[in-house]
Chain A
Amino acid sequence: DTGVSQDPRHKITKRGQNVTFRCDPISEHNRLYWYRQTLGQGPEFLTYFQNEAQLEKSRLLSDRFSAERPKGSFSTLEIQRTEQGDSAMYLCASSLALNSGQSSYEQYFGPGTRLTVT
């Protein structure tokens, strides 16, 4: 069982640079989620994919953020023109939905990518 993996685990970048994170979900999972977590807080939802379709984006996700899940497998989250306020832990999670409806299931989280913007 490989679980959900994320790469890189840590990223330090200068303000204004672009960064890209990768998430590999559990192979048979059809749903993939991105969350952001700052110190002392719980994760906040960013966006969600069912297979390759991006079905929902949070208002937290500004135009500088973009996510993709080509072929419904791994996903990437890109942040353009990073700002110091983007510093956070970026968590990816996946789940197996047994139907295409709006039911929810337990999510399996990766270890996260910690972003520091200097």
Chain B
Amino acid sequence: SQQGEEDPQALSIQEGENATMNCSYKTSINNLQWYRQNSGRGLVHLILIRSNEREKHSGRLRVTLDTSKKSSSLLITASRAADTASYFCATALTDSWGKLQFGAGTQVVVTP
């Protein structure tokens, strides 16, 4: 079963705009990670936020985590056409030895 659920399922924006996507999960986590996947290819790790952290930045990415609401958000600022991809949140449960549970993803299309 998939632990995380992303919202929205799809997002279409123009270059330069910001893209925000949300992830909700169900059980207690060790950390939450965001991954990007370009069409039909492997996943690339973007950012990891631990359960005791509330916000993290990496370049144009900003991730927040609210453990009381069991939710996270990923913000991509000043989007580029190259950001077109599917974005997945993945949760690592507290007793999971690191296995990740992924949501179904948000498909982001950035048009020039």
Contact = CB atoms under 8 A, between A and B. Distances in A.
A107 B100 contact: yes
Interface residues of B, number: 28
Contacts of A103: 30, 98
A106 B45 contact: yes
Interface residues of A, number: 31
A102 B88 contact: no
B97 A56 contact: yes
B102 interface: yes
B33 interface: yes
Contacts of B30: 102-104
Contacts of B105: 41-42
A19 B82 CA distance: 35
Interface string A41-56: 1111100101000011
Contacts of A97: 98
Interface in B23-78: 30-31, 33, 35, 40-45, 48
A65 interface: no
A49 to B, nearest CB: 10
Nearest to B1: A44
Contacts, number: 78
Interface stretch (A66-74, A79-87, A109-117): A109-117
Interface string A75-107: 000000000000001010101010000111111
B20 interface: no
Given A95-B98, A114-B40, 4 more contacts: A33-B99, A42-B103, A89-B40, A109-B44
Interface of A: 4, 31, 33, 35, 40-45, 48, 50, 55-56, 89, 91, 93, 95, 97, 102-112, 114
18 contacts: A35-B102, A40-B104, A42-B4, A42-B90, A42-B105, A43-B88, A43-B102, A44-B102, A45-B101, A48-B98, A56-B99, A102-B98, A107-B33, A109-B35, A109-B43, A109-B45, A111-B42, A112-B42
| Shortest Cβ-Cβ A-B pairs, 8 listed | A42-B102, A104-B98, A104-B92, A109-B42, A109-B43, A111-B42, A106-B45, A45-B99
